[in-house]
A and B are shown apart, each in its own frame.
Chain A
């Protein structure tokens, strides 16, 4: 099992001058430390107009900065919103390839279509179209990367023959993923030979196990959109690791509550625009369903990674047992945790938990950092 970091770049109100820079700089510091400690990936989301929840509208720029200050960590550009009004397909392929060049072959591309009216209406996107355009994107982007010259006549766009440049460093091309929230999307990923990037916090592990098994089975007979099959299952989680159980649980709960309440602020497609294209609950709807009565929501959901090192190991063993290959952590949200405590949590996790999963890729610099924090 490999571990990564997920960055939402959430910004708490009030939106004072400079607060976004503070959030960005702290997040870069966390990612750089993660690189040194042996975290395997840094995922950076794409969101638009999502007040507080995520101010990450230019993730490729954030990742470009990260590429320049890290050596090893994989730079995961996702989830990129694959609709033409927000990101033309050619630009997605180009920007991702630039990141792969800058990082010397460390880029991975996560694809999706957004699930909020807040975002889609802001760009004039018809929610009925997003499943179709996403499907078109995941078919053409690998071809833009691998074919010397590319031409296309399609549904959402067409282009005469051109050389899409630059070409990625990775051969045959970088790995591709699909954001999986609604049940059944993991099968869409499998059918196309794409990695499953699970971003649902509310499904039970029993349910997750069934879905992962379905993905594994289905992908064996897939018709891959790219040049290879990326059979991997990733899931997003929270991380707060502390030797004191009380502190760990209290702080971790604040993270979860902060994320859920920030997510609930925005207008979900499912809550505002009835369509068969968003029939199953997405992330926000799922979070809302998880909380029953208005005063509910105080229990610790199953499988969340906050606690002592032993408690986090126990949660991760459960994820391992249901078939997850990678767990990606949000280590802070809305600046709820002091930056020093965030970095200490990451160091403690790297020192105490990662080795139990065979992850011992400390560099000398990170060992120094760990020692200095002890």
Chain B
């Protein structure tokens, strides 16, 4: 990488106590079946484009965030919903979404997501309302709204090309503090794209203090077979990714 590019300036040591704990990298994949997925990209102001990212990653130009919501209809833990707020960034050449935090409506799923993939996730309420002319997403914690965003005028997307950047979860791991790469597999059955419209976003509640969404990019509502993967890579958040990325010895997907 060029030495001249912008890199994150987040002080990762200051966050150590708030990170989830992964005790074993050898988690098997978790097939979630055919689920509903909402993925919304929104540009953000540049004021916090560096302060929200660790030094291992670069900001995107323009800075942006994404909200990624899963509505799982059935799983071995029963139905659950998961909503994530992620900062768009890149490791090396590859786009990534750095998780600021997530909300899940199933206590059992919260534990699994934290323990196996390092999601910083807490219990809350998620309501996804799909209609022919819009899709509403509402997220609340302790009855306080922290996200209200809609996708307006969804139209069918031909083909199956919906880009969702793999996630990066900050976690304490057997290798110490790491960015854990989580790259779910999506087999898309159908997808619609519309225009996102943000109604409410409590950035602080998502661990994204100062991040201000200010321009809609795209909103997708889709149905896909989704599998949360075995873990393959971790990256030292304080180092350049090219120097600090490790392929996990227990990688099960080669």
Q: Which residues of B have CB within 8 Å of A266? A: 60-61
Chain A residue at smallest Cβ distance from B95:
A271
Residue among A118, A264, A268 with most chain B CB within 10 A? A264
* B78 contacts partner chain A, Cβ-Cβ < 8 Å: no
Check if B165 sits within 8 Å of A271, measured CB to CB. Answer: yes
Chain A residues within an 8 Å CB radius of B1: 257, 261
CA distance A268 to B218 in the complex (A): 13
The answer to whether B233 touches A294, judged by C-beta atoms less than 8 angstroms apart, is: yes
Is B159 an interface residue, CB under 8 A from the partner? yes
Give A275-306 interface residues, CB cut-off 8 Å to B: 275-276, 279, 287-288, 291, 293-295, 297
CB distance from A341 to the nearest CB of B (A): 18
In the complex, A62→B163 CA distance in Å? 36
Given A294-B94, A294-B233, the answer on whether A275 and B193 have CB atoms closer than 8 Å is: yes
Q: Is A12 an interface residue (CB 8 A)?
A: yes
A291: contacting residue among B61, B88, B93, CB under 8 A? B93
| Residue among A13, A51, A52, A272 making CB contact with B64, cutoff 8 Å | A272
C-alpha gap A294/B235 in the complex (Å):
9
Whether B161 lies near A264 (C-beta < 8 A) is: no
The answer to whether A267 and B60 have CB atoms under 8 Å apart is: yes
B217 and A273 within 8 A (CB)? yes
Structural contact, B5 and A272, CB atoms closer than 8 A: no
A14 to B241, CA, bound (A): 21
Which range contains the number of B residues in contact with the other chain?
35 or more
The answer to whether A293 and B158 have CB atoms under 8 Å apart is no
CB distance B61 to A276 under 8 Å? no
Report if A117 contacts B (CB, 8 A). yes
Interface of chain B residues 150 through 169 with chain A (CB within 8 A)? 157-159, 161-163, 165
A262 to B93, CA, bound (A): 9
A273 B41 Cβ-Cβ under 8 A:
yes
Find residues 183-221 in chain B having any chain A CB closer than 8 Å to their own CB.
191, 193, 215, 217-218, 220
The answer to whether B84 has its CB under 8 Å from any CB of chain A is no
- The interface residues of chain A lying within 8 Å CB-to-CB of B61 are 49-51, 118, 265-267
- Tell me whether A334 is interfacial, beta carbon within 8 Å: yes
Q: Which has the most chain B C-beta neighbours within 10 Å: A257, A268, A295? A: A295
Q: Is B15 an interface residue (CB 8 A)?
A: no
B152 to chain A, nearest CB (A): 15
Taken together as a complex, chains A and B put the C-alpha atoms of A266 and B94 apart, in Å, by: 11
Residue of A nearest to B242 (CB): A295
The A-contacting residues of B in range 51-91, CB under 8 angstroms, are 58-62, 64, 88, 90-91
11 contacts between A and B (CB under 8 A): A12-B2, A13-B6, A118-B62, A257-B2, A258-B2, A265-B5, A265-B61, A274-B162, A288-B95, A291-B94, A295-B242
- Chain B residues close to A by CB (< 8 Å): 1-2, 4-6, 41, 43, 58-62, 64, 88, 90-95, 157-159, 161-163, 165, 181, 191, 193, 215, 217-218, 220, 233, 235, 241-242, 245, 247
| Contacts A117-B217, A274-B220 supplied; 16 other A-B pairs, CB < 8 Å | A121-B62, A261-B93, A264-B93, A265-B61, A265-B90, A267-B88, A270-B163, A271-B165, A272-B64, A275-B193, A288-B93, A291-B92, A291-B93, A294-B181, A295-B241, A297-B92
